[in-house]
Amino acid sequence: MTTRNPLKNDAQQSRRKFFTALGTGALAAASTGAVVLSAEFLTPNALFEPPSRVLVGKPDQYPPGSVAYLTEHQVVVVREGAGYFYALSAVCTHLGCIINWKSQEGVFRCPCHGSIFDKVGEVLGGPAPRPLRHLALSLTPNGYLQVDKSIEVEPSEILKV
């Protein structure tokens, strides 16, 4: 005659319950992770950047010999003489800092690392390895100056208005 040990049976039952709960919890965690990753995959992951083409005003807004520093667009518009325009990027070529125009000195200065650029964007001093980028400048059909920050042009390309 065999006798059953009630303690052993209860231990097996609690062990079975433990592993059942553990398996159910692992399955629930995996399902939750799959749902979260699926939802993340279905949502758009677009980067909204400001437009590369910006209108910077009409040519008559810029007096001859002026340097207009447009901080909101990180662009500098320079008018030389009678209707000759060019645009420079206001981003330093050393480490990407935003330069400042010092009108009393007639130069651009990087406030972070000390690079100095002349009115044409050439490096006068400091650690900057290259001159400032010259940007494409055009006249729209309705008479506004438009800078395209995505197109770099040669320094010799000057807009005559």
Model pTM score? 0.67
How much is the average pLDDT of 21-26?
92
* Residue 15 pLDDT: 81
How does residue 24 score in pLDDT terms, banded at 50, 70 and 90?
very high
* Residue 157 pLDDT: 84
How much is the average pLDDT of 56-72?
87
Over the chain, what is the mean pLDDT? Answer: 85
Quick check: 131 pLDDT over 70? yes
Query: What span, in angstroms and rounded, lies between the C-alpha atoms of 40 and 33?
Result: 10
